[in-house]
Structure 1
Amino acid sequence: MAGSAYARLDFAPRARAVVDCGSYSKPDNGCTDERRDAVAAYTDALDWYLSGDDRYAVKAIEIMDAWSGTIRDHTNSNAPVQSGWAASIWVRPAELIRAGHDWPQAGRFAEMLRKVYLPKVVGGSQSNGNWELSMLEATVGIAVFTDGRATYDKAVSMYLDRVPAYIYLSSDGALPKVSARSNLRTPEQIIKYWQQQSTFVDGLAQETCRDFAHTGYGLSAIAHIAETSRIQHGDLYPQVADRLRAAFEFHAKYQLGEPLPENICHGHYERSLGPTTEVAYNALHNRLGLAMPETERLTAQLRPEGADMFSLWETLTHADNPH
């Protein structure tokens, strides 16, 4: 982490007033820059916290202040998920710095989260599940940083509704569960939403047959929200553990090279799960004692898990971490 470009002390933020993001970040008017800068701020905050080198705290503050003094809005079709991706990262360095370093503009940063990011994410989404899960992760993080208990409780309620609608277990019946806020009513509508998949097995996710990358975004967000809930003394892991374990075991097995059965995604899949396993593996296997042999194999292969989207330095922060 310390050797990455994100930790360079000459790193220059590229804050802008309006971040304009279309589908798949096309156009990319500040989308990549915003996520890059948030990752850099988090990297610097971690570097400061672990090394004690104050220069990294100063750099993290410089980046966060640049954005809190500049950004006013997110626009275009990807505005909700872009807001979710960025805010779910921003809150991490903000928490670390505020807890242990002087930061005169911390209040302005909180206002940025409330006024620019929260309105875009707090209502959730009925698009593919990774959107809403990323937006809920951001909402939970913003609520914690701003002491917004009502917002936190709302997000947790939406999370406990969405997770069963994202990961299938055979106990659900012949078809996956549906979010209470969804307009899916018929088997045909549900199957279409699940990427035309009509055979369901334990651990299959709503986006498995789309690709493993977006599925990984969803699973990562599920684990992150549960991890935050545990730190906030309202542990959600017991309520999502069976589904999260099944999903990681299912996807890890095929990420490692096992061919998909013909009745799952027609036997074809994009093997692109990403570095998303450490948080869930540490919580479910190391703390709760659940067997996760496929996830264990994949995690060992991926280590050290670096920086990808909003799964950041998680071998460093979570590998074999009993706390």
Structure 2
Amino acid sequence: MRRTALFAASATLVAGVLAWPADAAPSAPAAFTHPGVTVSKGQLDFTRSKVNAGAQPWKGAFDRMTASKYADLNRAPRPRAVVECGSYSNPDLGCTDEREDAIAAYTHALAWYITRDERHARKAIELMDAWSAVIRDHTNSNAPLQTGWAGSSWSRAAEIIKHSYTGNWANSGRFATILRTVYLPEIINGSNSNGNWELSMTEAAVGISVFLEDKASYDKAMATFRTRTAAYVYLESDGALPKTVPSQNLNSREKIVKYWQGQTTFVNGLSQETCRDFTHTGYGLSAISHVAETSRIQGQDLYGTDVGERLRHGLGFHARYQLGAGAEGWLCGGSLKLGLGPVSEVGHNALANRLGHAMTNTGTLTLRGRPAGSNNLFVAWETLTHGDNPA
């Protein structure tokens, strides 16, 4: 693997590297496709046919999902008017409850689509209605991230129910209102924190914009996403220094190195948070794959752009070490904190299965993790929805 060493750059070089032009933001589609947040009707229909035929890995993935706590038809929603989340969810005043109720709503929406058992549709609606009746705000330091995590799952659940269930969802308008007034304002302007924050926030903003058919918010979220993705995963074509988010004013070598957790050598696929830990890096890579998948469903395929290249190299780089390769001395001081999580199915399916890229390490890690479960934050059941899914 060729290494590009970060060197003591002159002020002129740093200024030149930082003055990169942002890619043009994708435009919202003329008409939004529904259901169209992370998973499409074609993908859902494929999954349903495979599960009903007892085919693997989909049947095993479905069985894992329905055996989880999130698929419990006796689940009682636990809504709050104000969800208060401090750093690392301390305090946790409704944070776990909201995230898990949102994942449960998505789980029941998937179970409804696959089985056509209306009890699951009604449970998803019950969970969404309970929260839309009371939620008014997210507070404390983790409010933007919490809103992004929960908003991602809420929008996926709402898309499936609204656009496949023919029963009565009388309060769907109220749910749309809280997405527009409580969730979207908290996330649409992005974040200057670690990259996984802004990527998770833009994932939710994109999903909510699709559900609301809000073209302006969709365009704004996509523009933020393209800028942050370029600043989150390094490609050697970026030059000696990683790209940056202009508003963060990372305008010197020293600031960039500090922001990249002290890393001074850059290679294809390295993430801004690799040297922090693989868990947070996995959050960022997962959000990239989710937004790319939503964009593809909505008519603009980002997998063939730098987004896809960054995701491909990012997954492959981290999969290698997650599979057991030892860290070289130049990488994070020779010590890595693993724990990538169940985040590779969407990207592997799009880039390896559909586009034909060789992704040996990512493929091995994906197979080893099947059937993928949930990270209990915003990732759930992706072997079921995207594993070897050609739709």
TM-score scaled to structure 1, two decimals? 0.99
By how many angstroms is 1:290 displaced? 0.7
SS in 1 for 2:320: helix
Structure 2 match to 1:125: 191
Corresponding letter in the other structure for 1:246: H
Aligned to 2:330: 263
Equivalents in 2 of 1:2, 1:166: separation in Å? 35
| Structure of higher RCO (CA pairs closer than 8 Å, 6+ residues apart) | 2
Alignment equivalent of 1:311, drawn from 371, 374, 379: 379
Tell me the SS of whatever aligns to 2:199. Answer: helix
Q: Where does the alignment leave 5 or more consecutive residues of structure 2 unmatched?
A: 1-64
**Residue 243 (structure 1) shift:** 1.0
Tell me which residue corresponds to 1:297.
Answer: 364
Indicate the SS of the match to 2:84. strand
Task: Tell me what 1:237 maps to.
Answer: 303
| 1:254 maps onto 2:318 in alignment | no
Equivalent runs, 1:98-109 vs 2, <5 Å: 98-101=162-165, 102-109=168-175
Paired residue type of 1:113: L
**SS of 1:132's equivalent?**
helix
Larger of the two Rg values belongs to structure: 2
> Which whole-Å CA distance do the structure 2 matches of 1:10 and 1:163 have between them?
40
Please state whether the residue corresponding to 2:279 is helix, strand or coil: helix
The structure 2 residue matched to 1:49, chosen from 93, 113, 135, is 113
Alignment pair present for 1:276 and 2:343? yes
Letter in 1 for 2:256: I
1:29 to 77, 93, 115: 93
Cα distance in 2 for partners of 1:181, 1:223 equals 24
> Matches of 2:70 and 2:308 in 1, distance apart?
33
Instruction: Find the aligned partners of 2:352 and 2:379 in 1 and give their Cα distance.
Output: 19
Question: Aligned with 2:138: secondary structure?
Answer: strand
Distance 1:255 1:129 in 2: 20
1:162 is aligned, of 224, 228, 232, to 228
- 1:90-239 superposed matches below 5 A: 90-101=154-165, 102-239=168-305
Q: Which whole-Å CA distance do the structure 1 matches of 2:170 and 2:353 have between them?
A: 39
Which amino acid counterpart does residue 76 of structure 1 have in structure 2? N
CA distance in 1, matches of 2:148, 2:387: 25
Give aligned pairs, total.
Answer: 323
Work out whether 1:83 is the aligned partner of 2:147. yes
SS at match of 1:74: strand
* Aligned twin of 1:321: 389
CA distance in 1 between counterparts of 2:148 and 2:259 reads 22
- 1:242 to partner: Cα distance: 1.1
What is the one-letter code of the residue matched to 1:74?
A: H
Write the distance in 1 (CA, Å) between the matches of 2:243 and 2:345.
Answer: 27
Q: Please give the alpha-carbon distance, in whole angstroms, between the structure 2 residues aligned to 1:232 and 1:241.
A: 16
Q: Distance in 2 between matches of 1:45 and 1:65?
A: 14
1:302 Cα offset (Å): 0.4
Secondary structure of 1:163 counterpart: helix
Deviations 1:21-79 (A, max 9, x none): 00000000000000010011010010000001000000000000000001000000000
C-alpha RMSD over aligned residues: 0.7
Aligned-partner SS, 1:261: coil
Deviation by residue 1:87-108 (Cα, 9 ceiling, x = unmatched):
0110011000000223111110
Q: d(CA) in 1 for partners of 2:204 and 2:73?
A: 27
Q: Quote the sequence identity (%).
A: 61
TM-score, normalisation: structure 2: 0.82
Give me the whole-angstrom Cα distance separating, in 1, the residues matched to 2:162 and 2:327: 47
Deviation at 1:183, TM superposition (A): 1.1
SS at match of 1:56: helix
User: Aligned equivalents of 2:301 and 2:267: distance in 1?
Assistant: 27
> Which whole-Å CA distance do the structure 2 matches of 1:164 and 1:38 have between them?
29
AA at the equivalent of 1:189? K
Structure 2 counterpart SS, 1:188: helix
Query: Is 96-105 or 80-89 further displaced after alignment?
Result: 96-105
Shift, 1:265, TM fit:
0.3
Amino acid at match of 2:136: R
Q: CA deviation at 1:188?
A: 0.4
The Cα shift of 1:180 comes to: 2.6
- Which whole-Å deviations, capped at 9, do the CAs of 1:139-189 have from their partners, x for residues lacking one? 001100001101101111111111110000111111111123321100100
